[in-house]
Amino acid sequence: MPSQPLIALIATRQTHLKRAPTYEIPKAYLDAILTAGGLPILLPTSLPITTLPELVNRFDGFVLSGGGDVDPALYGGHLNATVHSIDPERDAFERALIPLVLQADKPLLAICRGVQILNVALGGSLYEDIPSALPAALRHDWYPDIPRDYLAHTVEIEQGSRLAEILGTRKLRTNSLHHQAIRQPAPALEVVAYAEDGVIEAVELPRKRFAIGVQWHPECLPEEPAMQKLFLEFVNAAHN
């Protein structure tokens, strides 16, 4: 029986007033990877950047998880009152990690903030805040008081894309827990899904073993067959 592939998940730094800083990730990510047959390992962003080449060599796949906003200074944007929870340590860590993962052709699944930092790391830009930049857009920030599995809107997926092939459909309902989104896609990325209002919902890198980013949170939809397929295909790619 083949061993479980080691999947690195980027943990989010949490600073609490009454205890030392911690690095955390919601359990739903761990459950999704375990259910798909992988072995999830948390990767704190406090690790030295110089260790990244060896880490990329040791792990079989990488998940860029959700979290706070990407610093607008990194993509020529503007800091304003809507931007929150910036973590310079994490921004720097992930921007250094992403090119190494792609160069090594290790499977990469980017989720919510993950797809945003993927786009920025490859030269794209973001809307700092969807409601401010796109007043006619749907509501995308269904948090924190709405259940994380609430199916907020429909996503349409491009025919012939890797994502459509994996999910087995070109249209599905998804949750929506973000207020930033891709504005200008990076040159290397292929946009493969949109919300009904035109906001970009998924990208992929062609000719890679597995490199897909989705704006929704598939780990929060464990009962949805399409989301199960996404994690299963990711972990299966990490086996090879």
Q: In this structure, what token pair is assigned to residue 115?
A: 């797809």
Spatial neighbors of 182 by CB under 8 A, at least 6 apart, are: 115, 116, 119, 124, 125, 126, 127, 191, 200, 203, 215
Determine if the peptide bond prior to 144 is cis (ω within 30°).
yes
CB atoms within 10 A of CB 76: 11
Helix axes 113-121, 88-103, angle to 10 degrees: 70
Greatest Cα pair distance, the chain, in angstroms, is: 53
Helix (H) or strand (E) holding 191: strand 190-195
Beta bridge mates, 181: 127
Q: 9-31 b/e with 16+ CB inside 10 Å = b?
A: bbbbbeeeeeeeeebebbebbbe
Catalytic residues: 112, 217, 219
Q: In this structure, what token pair is assigned to residue 37?
A: 């047959």
C-beta separation of 14 from 22 below 8 A: yes
